[in-house]
Amino acid sequence: MLNENLIGVPGGRWKLQTPALVIDIEALERNIAVMAAHAERRRVALRPHAKTHKSAEIARRQISAGALGICCAKLGEAEALAAAGIDSILLTSPVVTEAGIARLLALNAKIGALAAVCDDEAIAAHLDAAAARSGKTLSVVVDIDPGMGRTGIRPDRAPPLVERIASSPNLRFAGLQCYAGQVQHMESPNERRDASLSALKELAGLRDLLKAKGQDVPMLSGGGTGTFDIDPDAAVLSELQVGSYVFMDRQYNDVWTKPGSRPPFETALFVQTTVISANRSGLVTTDAGLKAFATDDGVPVIAHGAPAGASYFFFGDEQGGVIYSEEHGKLKRGDAIACVVPHCDPTVNLYDIYHVVRGDTLEAIWPVDGRGRSA
Amino acid sequence: MLNENLIGVPGGRWKLQTPALVIDIEALERNIAVMAAHAERRRVALRPHAKTHKSAEIARRQISAGALGICCAKLGEAEALAAAGIDSILLTSPVVTEAGIARLLALNAKIGALAAVCDDEAIAAHLDAAAARSGKTLSVVVDIDPGMGRTGIRPDRAPPLVERIASSPNLRFAGLQCYAGQVQHMESPNERRDASLSALKELAGLRDLLKAKGQDVPMLSGGGTGTFDIDPDAAVLSELQVGSYVFMDRQYNDVWTKPGSRPPFETALFVQTTVISANRSGLVTTDAGLKAFATDDGVPVIAHGAPAGASYFFFGDEQGGVIYSEEHGKLKRGDAIACVVPHCDPTVNLYDIYHVVRGDTLEAIWPVDGRGRSA
């Protein structure tokens, strides 16, 4: 495997063949510990979202630190992580096709604790029939739309769906999911707080209504890295679906960097790239372009390896560019540069392997088990 | 393999588990034939760029139609396509590190015709030394910078580098590469024409200078889908590195769609997605988001499966949204939608397999051999 020969070699981190996805293992470990301590202090469970890392190794570390399982976004991702040994998964997107439901029930037969979300009564009927054929009850969580209209059902329309699921002989009503994706990246802390607590207030209303009808609601799952410290105040969610905190990225660093304070989590993920052309003054070309970073939100931020003030830009599908002032040093062919990624989840999805580094040493290579498993 | 059970099933194309990358095989075949006929008519060779498709199967079809080999952007891509049987490759990005040069020479030992580009004398010396150690001559093409400053050396500074390579005992000077990437997507045909011919005029000057010194220039490689019909007028390039024409995408459709005329190539590549949530009026959610499309240039264009006037937007990492008017029909869960991708190359790089369809039938599944091989 590429770069395997560098494991344990002093300074090997800076000799990686690139573009390479790099994890700073010490920062990752601290991020997992900080979130675990937060959850314990605030008496909320963690079910970290594996759509960020798609890695069984990282999922195991999160579970070892106290998480009660993980979330997966897609069936293929859940299948990959289950095959790698993860036994407790909440699948957070609805599965609605015949072929998808067949795969869902096959996965349900294989692992200890699977729960699927549902936002429609007709689909609930399909799930019930498929579970009957499979001979094993399926746990179903009702997906609540917190107002963004992506997936889920609005709280006022949810009770009949809950009742439909709870009364289905082959389904178990496992609870409610409410993920306010639109709130996570609001940069104003007050707006973020108000928006998240307002969505959770609706969820609390639904929970109370169901309880008044005698319907137990075992799980209330939601929240993210943008609201991890806000949501426990609402005392509604039983578990947090935090994902990006393990790695952080430029987006979440922007959300969390405030005057006079540091983000609660460290940047643990980098894309490392190498200078391949240097025939201009104050400009070099690297080997990481549009295929090496997700590009939905801006450009990479240079963290190591370039003179102060250098900036990165996309220079086509295959290359990046670095503009810098030669007063602060000169870049040359072969130089390694590490970048904070604009958006971690879709960037991870571009790579087959993580290069796990401790300081300047490459310590291990981990597979990105769920890479590309969007179907 | 996902969807393998649908091969040959009538209407199976619309039952694919998604997101799925789809090739319209008839459009692909016509695109390959149209470009081959153009090249024959204009007496220029083709060396199509495989960075677009990363597929040995498509490379073989291009070569069967007359191409003299392919281009690859990265060593890993070239290694993957060579392993799948492609024997003639021009590697279009400079390889500059010790580990990379070792891999380059290992690949050179394995396949019939490999050429590497170089834009620096010190690197040329490294290539020469490595070729000496490998015991096989390496063909080297001097990369010329057409003014965009990405890779390559400016024509006026190129002669000493050409001489350095031509006089190296273990290198063979194979010619010049000049790819004007900045020109390809200019939407004004006149500006595109002027810019491309101006870059090629510089290249012709360099060629004439080298010839006057007695230096033969066997290969002059460059051009792209945006200038395929312009560049032959300059009578400089011996071969065209066209890539995107096999698939087309929204970007190149914009370049080529003019009032009163159709693009010379057809859209042959689609991402197919499925409606997974439909609880709002005039809005549904699909299963293809930021992990299913490259997002560097706008949003997907719906080609099939949604009411007239519907538009697609990115609804987060895992989902897309379709906004439409219910006057023209109603979308429901499970509906399949095919989209033209904004930018083909980095979108292909997200997928492990192509679903090859003829009309409504899934005919084959091809691997994306070079997927993710950016290092």
In a domain, A252, yes or no: no
Residue A343 covered by a domain: yes
The crossing angle, in degrees rounded to 10, of helices B121-134 and B158-166 is: 10
pLDDT at A88: 98
Confidence at residue A257, expressed as pLDDT on a 0 to 100 scale: 84
Q: B179, B182, B281, B290: best mutation site toward chain A, by most A Cβ within 10 Å?
A: B290
Instruction: Judge whether A263 and A257 are in contact, CB under 8 Å.
Output: yes
Shortest distance between the Cα of A232 and any Cα of chain B, in A, equals 24
The CATH number assigned to the domain holding B95 equals 3.20.20.10
Residue B191 in contact with partner chain A when CB distance is under 8 A? no
Dist. CA B129–CA B135, nearest whole Å? 10
**Would you state the pLDDT for residue A324?**
98
Output the CA angle B320-B325-B327, nearest 5 degrees. 145
Chain B residue closest to A20 (CA)?
Answer: B375
- At A197, give phi and psi (nearest 5°): -65, -30
**Which residue of A2, A317, A346 is in closest CB contact with B291?**
A346
**Which pair of structure tokens corresponds to residue A134?**
């499979």
Domain shared by B194 and B84, yes or no:
yes
pLDDT of residue A260: 75
As a whole number of angstroms, the distance between CA B246 and CA B254 comes to 16
Closest CA to B302 of B328, B336, B347, B340: B340
Same domain, B130 and B221: yes
- Average pLDDT per run of 10 along chain B, which is 375 residues long? 96 98 98 98 98 98 98 98 98 98 98 97 98 98 97 98 98 97 91 94 98 98 96 97 98 86 93 98 98 97 97 98 96 98 98 98 98 98
**Contact flag A287-B74 (C-beta cutoff 8 Å):** yes
From B96, B152, B352, residue closest to A372, measured CB to CB: B352
Is B363 part of a structural domain of the chain?
Answer: yes
Instruction: Classify residue A333: in a domain, yes or no.
Output: yes
- Name residues whose C-beta falls within 8 Å of residue B164's C-beta, 6 or more positions apart in sequence: B121, B124, B125
pTM of the predicted structure, to 2 decimals: 0.97
Cβ–Cβ gap B119/A279 under 8 Å: yes
Looking at the fold, whether A276 and A209 belong to one and the same domain comes out as no
| Chosen from A283, A317, A349, A351 to mutate, greatest number of chain B CBs within 10 A | A317
pLDDT, tens digit (0-9, with 9 covering 90-100), for A130-175: 999 999 999 999 999 999 999 999 999 999 999 999 999 999 999 9
Q: Distance (Å, rounded) from C-alpha B83 to C-alpha A175?
A: 50
Cβ atoms of B300 and B266 closer than 8 Å: no
- Mutate one of B97, B123, B299 to test the A interface: name it (highest A CB count within 10 A): B97
Would the ipTM clear 0.95, i.e. be above it? yes
| Contact check, Cβ <8 Å, B97/A334 | yes
Residue B209 and residue B65 share a domain: yes
Count of residues in chain B: 375
- Residue A15 and residue A62 in one domain: no
Asked if A292 lies within 8 A of B374 by C-beta distance, the reply is yes
Q: A253 with A340: CB under 8 angstroms?
A: yes
Question: Does A198 map to a domain?
Answer: yes
Strand runs (DSSP E) across B37-106, as ranges?
Answer: 45-46, 70-72, 88-91
β-bridge mates for residue A142, sequence order: A118, A176
Chain segment A88-127, per-residue pLDDT in tens: 999 999 999 999 999 999 999 999 999 999 999 999 999 9
Do B276 and A96 count as a contact with CB atoms less than 8 A apart? yes
- For the record, the structure tokens of B238 come out as 């011996």
Contact (CB<8Å) B93/A154? no
Name the minimum distance, in Å, from the CA of A155 to any CA of chain B.
12
- Residues of chain A contacting residue B96, judged by C-beta atoms under 8 Å apart: 274-277, 333-334
If asked whether residues B120 and B177 sit together in one domain, one would say: yes
Residue B302 belongs to domain with CATH number: 2.40.37.20
**Model confidence over A199-230: pLDDT tens digits?**
999 999 999 999 999 999 999 999 999 999 99
Question: Which pLDDT value is given to residue A159?
Answer: 98
Tokens 């290694």: give the residue: B79
pLDDT value at residue A33 = 98
Query: Among B185, B219, B247, where does a domain finish?
Result: B247
Average pLDDT of chain A? Answer: 97
Q: How far is the C-alpha of B145 from the C-alpha of B123, rounded, in Å?
A: 16
CA distance A260 to chain B (A): 31
Residue in this structure with the two tokens 């996965």, named with its chain if needed? A107
Of A196, A217, A247, the last residue of a domain is: A247
In a domain, B194, yes or no: yes
- Which residue on chain B is closest to A79 by alpha carbon? B2
- Mark which of B247, B282, B309 sits at the end of a domain: B247
Amino acid present at A101: I
Structure tokens at A344: 């971690």
What are A250-301's pLDDT values in tens digits? 999 999 887 777 889 999 999 999 999 999 999 999 999 999 999 999 999 9
Nearest-CB residue to B17 (from A99, A283, A333): A99
Looking at the structure, do residues A233 and A281 belong to the same domain, yes or no?
no
Over residues A338-363, the pLDDT tens digits come to: 999 999 999 999 999 999 999 999 99
Q: Which domain holds residue A339?
A: 4-22+263-367
* Lookup: tokens for A207: 């929970």
Residue B326 included in any domain: yes
Q: Which of residues 57-96 of A touch B (CB under 8 A)?
A: 73-74, 76, 93-96
Q: How many Å apart are CA B248 and CA B266, to the nearest integer?
A: 7
User: Same structural domain for residues A46 and A138?
Assistant: yes
The mean per-residue pLDDT over the stretch A367-374 comes to 98
A314 and A292 in a single domain? The answer is yes
3-state secondary structure of B328: helix
Task: Give the span between the Cα atoms of B31 and B264, in whole angstroms.
Answer: 8
B275–A96 CB contact, under 8 Å: yes
Nearest-CB residue to B153 (from A51, A73, A279): A279
Q: Work out the widest C-alpha separation in chain B, in whole angstroms.
A: 73
Token pair for B78:
């070239």
State whether residue B334 sits within 8 Å of chain A by CB: yes
For chain B, how many structural domains are there in total?
A: 2
Q: Would you call B150 and A99 a contact, using CB atoms and an 8 Å cutoff?
A: no
The residues near A94 (Cβ < 8 Å, ≥ 6 apart) are A116, A117, A118, A119, A120, A123, A143, A151, B276, B277, B333
Residues B121 and B152 in one domain: yes
Q: Do A374 and B349 make contact, defined as CB atoms within 8 angstroms?
A: no
Same domain assignment for residues A105 and A160: yes
Chain A residues within 8 A of B352 when measuring between CB atoms: 372
* Phi/psi of residue A240, nearest 5 degrees: -105, 135
Residues B121 and B211 in one domain: yes
Beta bridge pairs of residue A138: A171
Q: Within a domain: residue B215?
A: yes
Tally Cβ neighbours within 10 Å of residue A19.
26
Residue B147 burial by Cβ neighbours in a 10 Å radius (0-12, 13-18, 19+): middle
Report helix angle B189-212 to B158-166, nearest 10: 50
Residue A240 pLDDT more than 90?
A: yes
pLDDT band at A366 (very low <50, low <70, confident <90, very high): very high
CB of B154 within 8 Å of a chain A CB? The answer is yes
